Amino acid sequence: MTTLHDVAQLANVSDSTASRALRGLDIVRPKTRAKIKSAADSLHFELSRSASALASGRTMRVIMLFGSPLNTWFSAACMQGAYEVLAESGYDIVPVILKDATNANEFFNTLLKNKHNIDGIILPSIRLDSHSSEDLSSLKIPTVGLDASFSPVLNASVALDNKSAMRSAVYYLQELGHERIGYVQYPNRNIFFSSAEERGTFFLQAAKEYDFSQASVHVYPAKDYEVNSSLEEPLSQLARRIASSDAAPTALCVENDEAAIILMRQLRLLGVKIPEDISIIGFDDNDNAELMGLTTLKQDPVHMAKIAAQLLKDLMAGNPIERKQTWIQTSLVKRESTSSPRSERTASA
Amino acid sequence: MTTLHDVAQLANVSDSTASRALRGLDIVRPKTRAKIKSAADSLHFELSRSASALASGRTMRVIMLFGSPLNTWFSAACMQGAYEVLAESGYDIVPVILKDATNANEFFNTLLKNKHNIDGIILPSIRLDSHSSEDLSSLKIPTVGLDASFSPVLNASVALDNKSAMRSAVYYLQELGHERIGYVQYPNRNIFFSSAEERGTFFLQAAKEYDFSQASVHVYPAKDYEVNSSLEEPLSQLARRIASSDAAPTALCVENDEAAIILMRQLRLLGVKIPEDISIIGFDDNDNAELMGLTTLKQDPVHMAKIAAQLLKDLMAGNPIERKQTWIQTSLVKRESTSSPRSERTASA
DNA sequence: TTGAAAGCGATACCAA
DNA sequence: TTGGTATCGCTTTCAA
């Protein structure tokens, strides 16, 4: 196994100089550096991560904490985004999944104990309760939240502007002429917080702002179909309920695309025409949304993760960051699942 | 920063004993071990990964090498599968993406240089050419292939039985009464090998086995629509070609679900009824397949990755493995995109 | 700009 | 079953 020492000898310099040259510190004379680099190349040498880490205290290891599997639209996008900015700087981006952590405690204990071993943490969709928060802040390890609103224990955070998103959805529906609108919640299967949970509230707020009467706005809560298994069954029930109601909304905003698409299908099975009878708006713009012609509020988690990763990188380098809280806007992608309501059409016909 | 030494002192033992106890080596008296464990707990202590790695030579770091983004159906599943078996043993599973590596050389050089820093490698969908192969075998680091047929430089591999898969597809189509069948290739956007590439050949073989005449089997090669951007355009062209042909196949096997679904949509836009006019079979059973009612050959990459990871774990532990080559079977999932051909139906009507 | 030497925090060998 | 000690390969003062 070739070591830094071998390289130094071959280049006729001291270990320290070789180390400096290889790491790109600019206190090395160009000539010397070149000599060392070529020695290193000819020996196929690369620094030992563990030795470097041990000596410097920097582990070049960033933890990405998930509450759901990695092969999920959002999680995978986070990994990709973080990878894109962190990998080039030599950071390992290490996924960690919290399984049964109903109590975030176990998790924070683990983190606490890992103190030596982590340079930074990215927390996608994590809710911080006061207890774990203390732990986190005692960590002294840069931590940035992703899809989380800012908390004092976070050094920075990148969050989706769900409020504006809901506002634009409601505005769009009003513009189309809808007078009875609804919001469908999604059961949170993630053990942590997802900012999606706050969308319902913002939807109501927005409806109020745009002068919808309380009676004309209906929220279908997640509790109604809280299941671990398939969404088909509960959403089919919901569809039946909606289809058979007289004063059903003519437009539905659904917490995310996955549920929106299933609901759309279930409604169609009942003979409900979309968008003629009911317009549907999803959230995310995942791969299926385009396929199904679903109008949706598009978010780009890869992009968000890149921003979070860049913030973390700055933090780890000790650089100042511009602002602690970064808000990301969604954009409304209009497709075939929305239109003016039937009444409106008839009237204008 | 608390160290092993602090724990040892608190427990009144030597560093060595503390180390042994904490790592679970069974040459420590239970009483002693307990004492040490509680000392460690009270200090919120965890071993330093870098120090352990440096001293032991084991880095607890496994590289997963990709030729495509992580937020991809297959890649994300590989990560998840590997995570499920490797994480509990304390391994970091670190994704590495090869971007421009048209020449695998750069990549293998990097690997070679990382010798110190890696305990094991999982190679999903990697093609090994003879040049890089030498490099790999000189690595002396356990390497297992995933979705790759066995190569002498791999210590083990897990592969999809594409041959059987194609056979079952052809058999199924024959059973349905199809007499003209076709296979649609997919442009490989991965810089590496995907076993998908061999499916076309196996399809032809299977057709021969089942006595399809050469004239009744058509392969639509990937070259026809080799693009980097969207698949829509080339597949719409292909759809037009098929729709306007007199002796078009009545059943199409498509290299993967993604392409199958797009093709299906393009055909429908042209008025082609599926499955009445043309039956379609995909491959993968990704999330969209069920949504679109696509008959497909289901593979489970999470499962495959778990097997690969287990093999790697055994290899890294120095345990013997049962066999170097593990074949995984696909299963045919029948949905609404396939049926008997129209002629058959008319005949039987 | 370069070199010498003291750690970094564990593991593993050899003794006891 | 436990302890003493050399060692892993690099970074980082401090001096020159």
Per CB-CB distance under 8 Å, the chain B contacts of A72 are 76
pLDDT-derived band at B132, boundaries 50, 70, 90? low
**Token pair of A118, please?**
């982590």
Beta-carbon count within 10 A of B179 CB: 15
Q: Give the per-residue pLDDT at A68.
A: 87
Q: Predicted confidence band at B152 (pLDDT cuts at 50, 70, 90)?
A: confident
Q: What is the pLDDT of residue B104?
A: 59
The predicted structure's pLDDT at residue A205: 96
Q: What is the nearest nucleotide to A116, using C1' and CA? A: C9
- Do residue A287 and residue B292 have CB atoms under 8 angstroms apart? no
Mean of pLDDT values over A63-83: 95
pLDDT of residue A348: 45
Query: To the nearest whole number, what is the mean pLDDT of chain A?
Result: 89
Percent of chain A with pLDDT over 70: 87
Average pLDDT, chain B: 89
pLDDT above 60 for B156: yes
**CB-based contacts of A317, cutoff 8 Å, min separation 6:** none
Across the range A200-221, mean pLDDT stands at 94
Average pLDDT over residues A206-213: 96
Task: Tell me the β-bridge partners of B124.
Answer: B146
Q: With a CB-CB cutoff of 8 Å, which residues 212-251 of chain B face chain A?
A: none
How many contacts, defined by CB atoms under 8 Å, are there between A and B?
A: 121
Using CA atoms, how far apart are residues B94 and B71, in angstroms rounded to an integer? Answer: 15
- CA B185 – CA B218 distance, rounded (Å): 11
State the pLDDT at residue B116. 84
Which tens digits make up the pLDDT trace of B208-228?
999 999 999 999 987 655 555
Long-range Cβ pairs for the range B342-349 (8 Å, 24+): B342/B250, B342/B276, B342/B277, B343/B177, B343/B179, B343/B250, B344/B176, B344/B177, B344/B178, B345/B276
Mean predicted confidence (pLDDT) in B183-189: 81
CA B208, B209, B213: angle at the middle one, nearest 5?
30
Residue B32 CB in 7 A reach of strand D: yes
CA distance A53 to chain B (A): 6
**Contact A241/A235 with Cβ under 8 angstroms?**
no
Q: Average the pLDDT over A178-204 and give the result.
A: 84
Name the more confident of B229 and A55: A55
Distances (CA, A) of A279 to A179, A251, B105: 12, 4, 53
Interface probe, candidates B60, B71, B93, B135, chain A, greatest A C-beta count within 10 A:
B71
Question: Considering just the CA atoms, what is the radius of gyration of chain A in Å?
Answer: 26
* CA–CA dist B108, B65 (Å, integer): 11
Structure tokens belonging to residue A116: 């030596």
Mean of pLDDT values over A136-159:
83
- What are the pLDDT digits (tens) for B74-91? 999 999 999 999 999 999
CB contact under 8 Å between A51 and B54, yes or no, is yes
**In Å, what is the CA distance from A180 to each residue of A213, A250, A270, B69?**
9, 6, 20, 42
Distance CA A225, CA A29 (A): 68
- Is B72's CB within 8 Å of A76's CB? yes
What is the pTM assigned to this prediction?
Answer: 0.92
- pLDDT score of A179: 95
Using the Cβ of B69 and the Cβ atoms of chain A, whether some distance falls under 8 Å is answered with yes
B73 contacts on A by Cβ (under 8 Å): 71
Contacts of A115 in chain B (CB under 8 A): 1, 44, 46
Q: What is the pLDDT of residue B189?
A: 62
Mean pLDDT of B335-342: 94
Which of chain D's bases lie under 7 Å from a protein CB?
Answer: 1-5, 7-13
Residues B53-77 have a mean pLDDT of 94
- Over A66-98, what HEC string results? ECCCCCCHHHHHHHHHHHHHHHHHCCEEEEEEC
Residue the block writes with tokens 């981006």: A93
pLDDT (0 to 100) of residue B191:
60
Flag whether residue B307 sits within 8 Å of chain A, measured between CB atoms.
no
Q: Is B137 on the interface with A (CB under 8 A)?
A: no
Q: What is the pLDDT of residue B186?
A: 84
Between CA B110 and CA B139, with CA A50 as vertex, the angle to 5 degrees is 35
Taking the CA atoms of residue A145, residue A146, residue A147 and residue A152 in that order, the dihedral angle to the nearest 10 degrees is 10
> What are the backbone dihedrals phi and psi of residue A310, each rounded to the nearest 5 degrees, phi first?
-65, -40
Average pLDDT over residues B174-187: 93
- Provide the pairing of β-strand B92-97 with B61-66: parallel
Distances in Å between the Cα of B281 and the Cα atoms of A105, A224, B271 are 48, 37, 19
Q: Regarding beta strands A331-333 and A295-298, do their DSSP bridges make them parallel or antiparallel, or are they unpaired?
A: antiparallel
Residue that has been written with the tokens 């058979």 in this structure: A244
Whether residue B348 is predicted with pLDDT greater than 50 in this model: the reply is no
Torsion of the alpha carbons at A247, A237, A74 and B311, rounded to the nearest 10? -170
Kindly report which listed range (A35-49, A332-346, B183-197, B308-322) carries the lowest average pLDDT score: B183-197
Q: Which residue has the tokens 């176990």?
A: A106
Could you tell me what percent of chain A has a pLDDT over 90?
70
Q: Name the band, by pLDDT with cuts 50, 70 and 90, for residue B105.
A: low
Among the residue ranges A27-31, A252-256, B195-199, the one predicted with the least confidence is B195-199
* Token reading at B100: 């421009």
Residue of A nearest to B263 (CA): A291
- Measured at the CA of B296, the angle between CA B251 and CA B160, to 5 degrees, comes to 115
Residue in chain B nearest A135 by alpha carbon:
B44
Report the distance separating Cα A219 and Cα A200, nearest Å. Answer: 7
Alpha-carbon distance of A126 to A194, in angstroms, equals 7
Q: Give residue B32's identity as a one-letter amino acid code.
A: T
Mean pLDDT of B243-263: 93
Domains of chain A (ranges; CATH) run: 4-56 (1.10.260.40), 61-160+301-329 (3.40.50.2300), 162-298+332-348 (3.40.50.2300)
Q: Which residue carries 């928060």 as its tokens?
A: A133
| Cβ-contact B268, B277 below 8 angstroms | no
In the structure, what pLDDT confidence band is assigned to residue A55 with cuts at 50, 70 and 90?
Answer: very high
* pLDDT for residue B135: 61
pLDDT at A292 over 50: yes
Q: How far apart are alpha carbons A339 and A332 in whole angstroms?
A: 14
Q: Which residue has the tokens 């995933």?
A: B146
Between A247-256, B56-65, B222-231, the lowest mean confidence (pLDDT) is in B222-231
More confident residue, A176 or A234: A176
Closest CA to A192 of A67, A326, A336: A67
Report d(CA B78, CA B190) in Å as an integer: 15
Report strand pairing: B295-298 vs B331-333.
antiparallel
Smallest Cα–C1' distance to nucleotide D3: which residue has it?
B14
Radius of gyration of chain B (CA): 26
Could you say which DSSP state residue B307 is in? Answer: H
Distance CA B349, CA B346 (A): 5
Give the confidence band of B229 by pLDDT, cuts at 50, 70, 90.
low
Average pLDDT on A155-168 reads 95
Question: A74 vs A66, A97, A336, CA distance in Å?
Answer: 10, 14, 24
User: B37 phi and psi, to 5 degrees?
Assistant: -60, -40
